[in-house]
Amino acid sequence: MRIDLNTHLIDEAIIIASPNCDLRPAGMLPELIVVHGISLPPAEYGGGHVQQFFSNKLDTSEHPYFAEIADLKVSSHLYIERDGCLTQFVPLNLRAWHAGQSSYQGRKACNDFSIGIELEGSDEEAYSEQQYAVLKSLISCLQGAYKGITAKAIVGHNDIAPGRKSDPGASFDWSRIK
């Protein structure tokens, strides 16, 4: 796995551009990885709904839950499906809209300085072997490119938005990636 530092894209990723991003603050480089868990509809996998959601193309008539999230404009830099398929929505030099109201070690607005990685899953169900393998390789790649991302700077969404978010959930095995 390799990052093209001209395009800020991962060479092994499928690219689906998300409009839900903008520039990072001037001079800001990634210093944090935020691991998320997502499935659409909740606890259902496959179907391409996450990809549609992050690219603002989700058909709200396909499931009642989709009407609840229809107006949200969110994205992530990267998404790892249950089978290990890796998709990139936002170049790493841009700010993806994944963390929302958040803080890490007293710093607010984690989107400014983080890379968001979504895993297809739910808080209650174990993530797959393929996901852990891709995530571990991806983390190594990101740490090689962005020296500010230390082993301690890999957190869950729940860590930067406690009480508001619970993902990646108790089913995520942190020992598999650290």
Q: Which two tokens stand for residue 167?
A: 């993902």
Taking the C-alpha atoms of residue 172 and residue 167, their distance in angstroms, rounded to an integer, is 9
Helix (H), strand (E) at residue 67: helix 64-69
Residue 20 DSSP class: S
Catalytic annotation present for 124: no
Residue type, 11: D
Q: How many helices (H) and strands (E) does the chain have?
A: 4, 12
Identify the active-site residue in 44, 68, 81, 118: 118
Buried (b) or exposed (e) across 95-116, using 16+ Cβ within 10 A? bbbbbeebebeeeeebbbbbbb
- Residues serving a catalytic function are 118
